[in-house]
Amino acid sequence: MSLNVQEIKGFRAADKSYKKYDSRGLLLLVKPNGSKLWYFKYRFGGKEKKLPIGAFPEVSLSQARQLRDRARLKVSDGIDPMLERKRKKARIKLGAENTFEVIANKYIDEKMVPEGRAEATLRKARWFLELLKPAIGNMPINDVDPQLMLAALKKLEAKGNLETAKKCRSFASRVFRYGAALGQCHTDPTSILQGALVTPKARHYAAILEPEKLGGLLRAIDDFECYPATKFALKIAPHVFVRPGELRHGEWHEIDWDKATWTIPEGKMKARRAHVVPLSRQVLELFRELRSITGSKGYIFPAFHTRQRPMSENTINAAFRRMGFTKDEVTAHGLRSTASTMLNESGLWHPDAIERALAHGDSNAIRGVYNRGNYWDERVKMAQWWSDYLDELRQRCMLQAPPSV
């Protein structure tokens, strides 16, 4: 005989637990402490099982019957509702453990680090994670949807950090795709957000574009007194077209003295491809002078206090400021624009050779390989011509300078 609500309310606690049956496997367990618990009793795989449904009155009689009926349908479909519930709890527990922060740290430590990413790149990745943690760090990665992700990025935009928001979206996208590969999330919620973010203005690095001013800069570098590694970094940077981070992370073992080349490994390159820099006679001589001072092991441009780390990312720009050049006149990165502009204006070199020298690469990987072969000889000649041209500009400036009193 089926139970009714008044009957259930009247069940009193006894010295021992006792059961009251409703129908179709639903039963109520009355415990000595007075609590009343619903169970669905069923057989699966030849074994009798009891599925907890909830406590009365929180789960009413009608609700308990509905939950029983759903469980009965699962059994008829060959699904064990008890096992299904355990698996669901395990997934929830696993999801709670696999938060965005956890997966992001795995991405950094188990993918980026083994790939040999530059230390500066790793620091940026960890910084992006710190920026995203307050909004989504503790959330199971599979629960982060596009709206939550957008809200996190909009907070950065509200502070005026448009470029940072863009880069955080890119970092988060890589984390979500890594999480999907691990089976921890199903989609990348950032994939539809690109059009929802404010496009930052293109960043232009201050650069000297007039030959006379460039000659003045080169002469100022010659006259500037500072730590030897800084001095040689200032002297070499205008010649080699590399990015400031690639310059300061250079190591002596990357220099091939016989071939007159500097091979920067892919882990240090923005395009994630190794880049070979042809070295002019002037640059080789500067490297030799520096080697006689710092030794031939470790970083080419070590930090002031320790040779175990490269010089800081602000060293060259700080030196320019002490020399009297403002940030609107010249920057370390702007030296690349200087070289690009003047080499193109000379009309002597193929634009693709200049692009290859700047390590801008080619979106077509196969074409990029062929271009490297086609333009290498031209790049070697161009490197020597450029160093000779810099010497000429420096000399002109010295001749035009008024005699010292």
Q: Catalytic residue numbers?
A: 243, 270, 333, 336, 360, 370
Q: Are 214 and 338 in contact (CB under 8 A)?
A: yes
Q: What is the per-residue DSSP string for 269-292?
A: STTSS-EEEE--HHHHHHHHHHHH
DSSP-derived 3-state class of residue 11: coil
Q: Which helix (H) or strand (E) holds 89?
A: helix 81-97
Contact yes or no for 170/152 (Cβ under 8 A): no
How far is C-alpha 56 from the chain's CA centre? 51
Here the tokens at position 378 are 């031209």
Do the Cβ atoms of 185 and 99 come closer than 8 Å? no
**Sheet with 18-21: strands ordered across:** 18-21, 26-30, 36-44, 47-56
Q: Which amino acid is at 179?
A: G
Helices (H), 182-261: 211-223, 228-240, 244-248
> CA-to-CA distance for 286 and 216, rounded, in angstroms?
20
DSSP string, 129-188: HHHHIIIIITSBGGG--HHHHHHHHHHHHHTT-HHHHHHHHHHHHHHHHHHHHTTS-S--
CB 355 within 8 A of CB 378: no
